[in-house]
């Protein structure tokens, strides 16, 4: 199903599209002893400017592949990807920031230097660096830890360092690849609140990859539900949450309905994915 043309009214409005995927597939070529893996697609996706869009799907369905293709970190095998009307190929476009699931903080740099890394590379003047980094660290609650090294911080704080490092570059599209996957449930809820604050403040478009239905339902304007590998969009759920929201939305009556709808699709797909994992272990390779 075309995620941009949802049955909930998410029709295509070209002027509002911030990023687009058209007929995108990704097939990992065969490597010694393993067959090629058709990981993704074909998928169509229209991201509206300024929306919070989440993608949920069973393990190994190609969610991270989708994000990397959109970011320009992987080429699509077929189809077209564009950001702000310009084709994406070969490199991450200016204006796109990515936060990864793994801890990507630089252990040899302090929190401050981690956050300032991209700005220094770009040759931004020191007063501007001071302003943007100070602002980002204050926003992410890291001001008191600016001289600390990542190893002295908790997993959640390290992830915030990575978000701050992306944030200072003022991206217009922020791609989050399961950034809270390694965190405990309470910290994830609180991090979700911080991401919502970040989204409201920056006005950026956010695409979040997650396997947590409650996280997707809580944070998003729209949630794309993906099938088991090769990942395709099965449904697009529009949450209709107000822009001013936080983790307390989980107590809203509608929250249960949204998660129930997501699970309705995902249950069967997750069962299929489990079967695929077994088959892959027997003779093929499963790629996320």
Partner 1 sequence: MSRIGWIRLAVLLALVALLEILVRIGSIPYKTMLPPSEMLTALVRLLAAGTATRDIVQTLEPFFATYYAVPFFIFYPVLIAIFDLSLLPIILMGFAFAVIAMCIATINGLDRVPRVLGKVARMHRMREFETAVRMKLPAAAPHLFTGLKLCVAYSFIGVIASEFILAPSGLGHAIAYAYNDFDNRTMYALMLFVMIVVVTLNMLLHGWEQRLLKRWHGR
Q: How far apart are CA 56 and CA 227, in angstroms?
A: 9
- Interface with partner 1 includes 144 (CB under 8 A)? no
Its sign, for the CA torsion 279, 282, 283, 288, is positive
For residue 178, the minimal CB distance to partner 1 (Å) is 12
Nearest to 176 by CA among 138, 142, 206, 215: 206
Q: Judged by CB, which is closer to partner 1: 3, or 37?
A: 37
Within 24-83, which residues bind partner 1 (CB under 8 A)?
68, 71-73
User: Are 118 and 169 a contacting pair, CB within 8 Å?
Assistant: yes
Count of residues in the chain = 288
| Of 29-37, 48-56, 76-84, 87-95: span binding partner 1 (CB under 8 A) | 87-95
Q: Which of 16, 87, 107, 275 binds partner 1 (CB under 8 A)?
A: 107
Least distance to partner 1, CB of residue 93, Å: 9
Binding segment toward partner 1, per CB under 8 A, in 92-100, 217-225, 247-255, 273-281: 92-100
From CA 148, how far away is CA 192, in angstroms rounded?
24
- Rule CB under 8 A: say whether 117 interacts with partner 1: yes
Number of residues that bind partner 1 (CB under 8 A): 24
CB of 110 to partner 1, least distance (A): 9
Task: Check binding of 100 to partner 1 (CB under 8 A).
Answer: yes
Of 90 and 203, the one with the shorter C-beta distance to partner 1 is: 90
Considering only the stretches 53-61, 97-105, 232-240, 277-285, report the one whose residues sit in contact with partner 1 under the rule CB under 8 A. Answer: 97-105
Does residue 246 interact with partner 1 by CB under 8 A? no
203 backbone φψ class: left, alpha, beta (φ>0; ψ -120 to 50): left
Annotate each residue in 118-137 with x if it binds partner 1 (CB under 8 A) or - if it does not, as one string. x--x----------------
Q: Which residues in the 150-209 window bind partner 1 by CB under 8 A?
A: 151-152, 166
Question: Among residues 10, 97, 156, 179, which is the contact residue for partner 1, using CB under 8 A?
Answer: 97
- Which range of residues in 80-88, 89-97, 181-189, 214-222 is near partner 1 by CB under 8 A? 89-97
- Contact call for residues 144 and 111 (beta carbons, < 8 A): no
Q: Which stretch binds partner 1 (CB under 8 A): 4-12, 33-41, 102-110, 253-261?
A: 102-110
Which of 183, 274 has the CB closer to partner 1? 183
List of residues contacting partner 1 (CB under 8 A):
68, 71-73, 91-92, 94, 96-98, 100, 102-104, 106-108, 117-118, 121, 149, 151-152, 166
């Amino acid at each position: 199903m075309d995620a941009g043309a949802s049955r909930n009214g998410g029709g295509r409005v070209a002027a509002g599209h911030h990023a687009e995927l058209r007929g995108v597939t990704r097939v990992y070529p065969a490597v010694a002893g393993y067959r090629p893996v058709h990981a993704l697609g074909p998928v169509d996706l229209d991201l509206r400017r300024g929306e919070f869009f989440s993608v949920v799907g069973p393990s190994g369905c190609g969610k991270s592949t989708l994000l990397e293709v959109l970011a320009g970190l992987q080429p699509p095998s077929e189809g077209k990807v564009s950001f702000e009307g310009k084709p994406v190929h070969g490199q991450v476009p200016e204006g796109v920031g990515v936060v990864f699931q793994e801890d990507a903080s630089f252990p040899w740099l302090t929190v401050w230097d981690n956050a300032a890394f991209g700005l220094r590379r770009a040759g931004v003047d020191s007063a501007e660096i001071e302003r943007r980094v100070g602002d980002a660290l204050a926003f992410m609650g890291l001001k008191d830890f600016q001289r600390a090294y990542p190893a002295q911080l908790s997993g959640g704080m390290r992830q915030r360092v990575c978000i701050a490092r992306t944030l200072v570059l003022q991206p217009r599209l922020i791609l989050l690849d399961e950034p809270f996957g390694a965190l405990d449930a309470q910290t994830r809820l609180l991090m979700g609140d911080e991401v919502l604050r970040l989204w409201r403040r920056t006005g950026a478009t956010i695409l979040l990859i997650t396997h947590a239905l409650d996280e997707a339902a809580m944070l998003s304007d729209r949630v794309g539900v993906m099938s088991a590998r090769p990942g395709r969009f099965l449904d697009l759920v529009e949450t209709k949450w107000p822009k001013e929201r936080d983790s307390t939305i989980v107590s809203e009556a509608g929250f249960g309905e949204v998660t129930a709808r997501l699970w309705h699709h995902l249950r069967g797909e997750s069962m299929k994915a489990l079967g695929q994992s077994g088959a892959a272990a027997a003779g093929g390779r499963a790629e996320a």
